[in-house]
Amino acid sequence: MISRNRRLRTNDSIRSLVRETSLTTNDLVLPMFVMEGDNKKEAISSMPGVFRQSLDLTVQTVKENYDLGIKAVNLYMKVSDNLKDNTGKEAWNPNGLMQNTIKAIKDAVPGVVVMPDVALDPYSIYGHDGIIKNGKIDNDSTVEALVKMGISHAEAGADILAPSDMMDGRVIAMREGLEENGFTDVGILSYAAKYASAFYGPFRSALDSAPVDAQEIPADKKTYQMDFHNSREAIDEALRDVEEGADIIMIKPGMPYLDIVSKIRELITQPIAVYQVSGEYAMLKAAAQNGWLDNDKVLIESLTSFKRAGADMIFTYAAPEVAKLLNQ
């Protein structure tokens, strides 16, 4: 035989020379759950190794992970029930938990990229990403609320807004709001293809943000998150968000949607983010804890598959341990 593919697999040094895809700490974004209080830390039972933490411990964790090479964090708030309503107005409180957390992180670690989540579900009594009117999620009033929320995050010092709500037209409205208020350098990472997935369960329990089962109100998010049977729709969503001014496009969940990542990568030049969501993380951890999979190897392999499919950055709860593995 003239051609033998195995020649380039002979040893690790040769394999490294011809390796097409690399995973580094520069690719990692750490999602974090923040709660009220001081010196408080609560384990999330369905997500081993992941915690809700008070603001002070959150800042400490950001510092530690920045030293590991994790340069970006994605923030979510565990909101007290007494602050929830149908308007989500706590979401743009200048002295709210999210706003104070952004300020504290940027003061302590100026170099870290802070990406706050922009969605109303943690602030909603109904657990939905939008405002309920006549038993439905009202798109346009929700977009107005999201713009207020996003501007408040920018005022607090956020680097990139991460709207995960899936309302129509929110990217252009948010971009215009930022421009009009002088925040021309604040970016938008749009959850363009966020599917109505069964893989979000542990996340919703972590924030107590699951949609309620109430009369005349949808008990799921299928009227605004995408149908997981569709792929052409995801392309349309991504292209629309790029036209509206999105700087980065998110595809969520991750591993079950690598085909979507690959298709969109062929059509846009903007960076693509992928989210290894709570259900994906929980499955890998459960299998590893039972001795069925090698934790370190499956983490690296799964995240590398995101890069191979075309992702530029990966949101993962495993970022700290992956960073340690990569640094070794």
Active site residues: 194, 252
Rg (CA), the chain: 20
Structure confidence at residue 218 (pLDDT):
76
197-208, pLDDT tens digit by residue?
Answer: 999 988 877 766
Structure confidence at residue 323 (pLDDT):
98
Tell me which amino acid residue 47 is: M
113-123, pLDDT tens digit by residue?
Answer: 999 999 999 99
CB 250 within 8 A of CB 194: yes
Ranges of residues in the chain whose predicted pLDDT is under 50: none
CB 262 within 8 A of CB 193: no
Nearest to 276 by CA among 262, 257, 294, 289: 257
Helix H or strand E encompassing 310:
none
Structure confidence at residue 164 (pLDDT):
95
Structure confidence at residue 214 (pLDDT):
61
Structure confidence at residue 203 (pLDDT):
82
Q: Where are the alpha helices (DSSP H) in the chain?
A: 12-17, 55-68, 97-108, 139-156, 170-180, 201-207, 232-243, 258-265, 278-289, 295-309, 319-327
Beta pairing partners, 248: 189
CB 57 within 8 A of CB 39: yes
Beta pairing partners, 251: 193, 274
Take residue 151 and report the two structure tokens written for it: 């501007």
